Structures are given as structure tokens and as C-alpha cells.
Amino acid sequence: MNRDQLIKESKKWVEEAIISDAQRELLIERYPKKQNKPLLLTFAAIFIGLGFLTFIASNWSYLTDLGRMGILLTSLTGFYLGGDWVYRKRSKRVGISLILIALLVFGSSIFLIGQMYHYTSFSAFPFLLWSIAGFVLYIFFKDTTFFYTTIAIISAGQIYSALVYQSFHVWMSLLFIAGLGWIMVKKNTYPQRLVFGTGYILQVILLVLSEGIPYYWLLTFFLLLYIIDDYVIEKGKTHVFKTISIFSVFILLTFQVFFLGDDYVGELTESSLYFFLVWAALFVFAVIRSALSSTNYYWIDLLLFVPVFRFGFGDLLSLILLFMYALLWLISGYQQEVARWVNKGTFVFLITTFIAYFQLAWDFMDRSLFFFVGGVMLFALSYFLEKKRRTIYKGGGEK
């Protein structure tokens, strides 16, 4: 039943003395007004803003520097103040969209003015200013739009910093962890956690790549995200950090399977004492936590975080870890009759088989034969696993 229907119906209920007026109010409150129109209005605002900006862009070269300054400053203040006014007096959504445009104008102004006056920049500092502006807007309006925009700006800035200056911008990552992390913990909605977790993975990968830190440190960063999950996300909610962390470490292991055999990587993995200290501290902590937790099966996840790169046959060990992970989830899934675990195990098992097959057979098998045999193998495997899985579902259904 929608709100309008309820309002009509409940009037009768009050007249027939089924419910009281107060109860009616409470019931109606349960069906909040849907906001369809503002979405269209938001798009309208964004389109007008874009139209305005592209108009300026196409006439840009005909303007003098002072004329350009004038346009940038007027549009910046115009969108900010107009947005603020609309936000307070008319529609919150439209106001937010206008202010979002102002934020974008601010960022592009920094770069345009820098270009006009031939600024040389030694770091991604403009992105830091821009992201701070986004963060402050969040504080003012408490609207998640600015949360996501700030994450996007920081991510873009960090990528830019890595590509152009080969360096990691520490202040931007501090704003990410301390500022946005704080918002994320306070608000704690699923999409925010998802975006924040993904942003975190991007940051640590860029940190490792641009600062020349050995790649295996990623393992500790991923493990950290895994552990933090318990503290940030309440029980019963989707453990999105854990999922992201497991997904990332899975990709890392896949890379290890393919590249750890190379001699070059062997040199990279020397002198890793600090890594092992940090890793051991985190790992022991994670093991203790999983031992204390009510579900005794989550230690299987931790298998993936075992560092195997120091061994000469680290690629093989990585593969074994992946297989063990898949099989353990499959087995415990069957034993405990948890369909979700079985699904997870099946999926990982299929992928791992594929990886192993690729790694072992690609070099010495004829290409067409390679794909043909691989296809048949996956068919057989998925048939077998699917059959097993169905029996579980049936078993679960009878219970």
C-alpha cells in the first residue's frame, strides 16, 4: 500500500473507530513521501550547469585573462550562493546539485587559473585543496553526495600524483582515512562502506606502486582492512570490508601464481623483516579474534593472508593456498549445510582451477587444445559441483 492509499483508507478506519487519530498518524509516518521529482530536478540543475560550463569552454580562447577570472569567480560564487538559497528555501536536492557544480567549478578553476598563469606544480596539491573543499561541504550540509565526491577527488588526485610525480600524496590519504573514515564510521551505510573500502584498496595499491614499497606489504594493508571490519561494522550487517579485503588478497595471490616464479620478483622479496613483524602482529591478532568469535569458520579466510613469497616455489604455494581456501569452504559448507559457503567455495574452486590450468598448461600446450580441454574440464567440474550443491539445497529444504 502506498502513502496516498493509506491516507484515504485510514480515514475510514478512524471513522469506524478501528484505530485512533494518533495511531493513524503513526501509520502514515511509516510510509514516507517518495521523492521522485527532485531526481529530475537534480538532472536539470546539472545539465544547466554543464551547458553553462561548456559554453564558457568553447569561448575560452577569445577571452582575456581578467575576463576569464571574472567568469570563473562569478560562476563560483553564483552557484554557491544560489545553491545555498535553493537549499534553504526550495528544494534540498536541487540546492545540493547546484553546490556540487560550484565545487566542480572551484576545482577546475584552480587548474584553469594555474594554466593561465603558467603555474608549475611539484605535487598534487591542487587536488588536496579541492578535496578539502568537498569535505568541508559535507560538514556543512551532511549530504552523502559530498562524501562520494570527495572520495572521487582524492582518488583522482592520488592517481594523478602517482602518474605525474611518481609519489604518494600523504595529506590527501590522511584526509581520506581520518576525515572520510570518520564520516563513514558515524553514518555507516552500506554504499558508503563499499565506496570507502574500495577507495582504501586503491590508496594502498598506489602507495605501494609509487613509493617503491615491496608489493607484499599489500598483504598487511588488506589484512588490516579485514580486521577493522569487526570494529566498524555491526553484527548482522554485510561485512563489506571483509569481502573487499578477501577479494583483493585473492587477486594478489593470483598475481603471485603467475609472477612469483620470475627471478626479478625473487630479488624484490629480500629484506622483509619489518614486514614479518607487522604481519605477525596483525595475523596473531586476527587469529585470536577468529578463535574467540562465535562462528568458528572464519579462520579459513585468514589462510589467504599467509605470506608465501619468501619460498622459491611461492607460486605453487600461492596456488595451494587458493585451493585449500576453496576446499575448506566447500567442506565446511557441506558439513554445516550453509549454502552461501558452498557457493563461495564452488566459485573460488572453479576460478582457481582455471588459474592453475592456465599457469601450468599455457606454455607447452597447443592453444586450441588448451582452450578445448580447459572448457571440457570446467564443464565436468561445474556439473559435479552443481549436483553436489543441489543436494545441499534439497537437504536444507527438507529441514
* Interacting residues toward other proteins by CB under 8 A: 65, 69, 72-73, 76-77, 80-81, 84, 102, 106, 109-110, 113-114, 116-120, 122, 129, 133, 136-137, 140, 164-167
C-beta of 100 vs 328, nearer to other proteins: 100
Spatial contact of 359 and 306, defined as CB atoms under 8 Å apart? no
* CB of 132 vs other proteins, minimal distance in Å: 10
C-beta of 109 vs 353, nearer to other proteins: 109
C-alpha 377/C-alpha 365 separation (Å) is: 15
Spatial contact of 233 and 239, defined as CB atoms under 8 Å apart? yes
* CB of 180 vs other proteins, minimal distance in Å: 18
C-beta of 149 vs 353, nearer to other proteins: 149
Instruction: Give the helix ranges, DSSP H, for the chain.
Output: 3-15, 21-29, 37-58, 65-89, 92-116, 125-141, 144-160, 170-174, 181-187, 190-210, 217-232, 240-259, 263-268, 273-292, 299-302, 314-336, 339-361, 367-398
C-beta of 74 vs 188, nearer to other proteins: 74
C-beta of 165 vs 297, nearer to other proteins: 165
Nearest to 279, CA basis, from 321, 309, 317? 309
Q: Provide the Cα torsion 70, 73, 75, 76; round to 10°.
A: 170
C-alpha 163/C-alpha 396 separation (Å) is: 52
* CB of 87 vs other proteins, minimal distance in Å: 10
C-beta of 109 vs 352, nearer to other proteins: 109
20, with CB counted inside 10 A (0-12, 13-18, 19+), is exposed
* CB of 152 vs other proteins, minimal distance in Å: 19
* CB of 165 vs other proteins, minimal distance in Å: 5
* CB of 120 vs other proteins, minimal distance in Å: 3
C-beta of 137 vs 207, nearer to other proteins: 137
| DSSP state letter for 33 | P
Q: How many other C-beta atoms lie within 10 A of the C-beta of residue 131?
A: 30
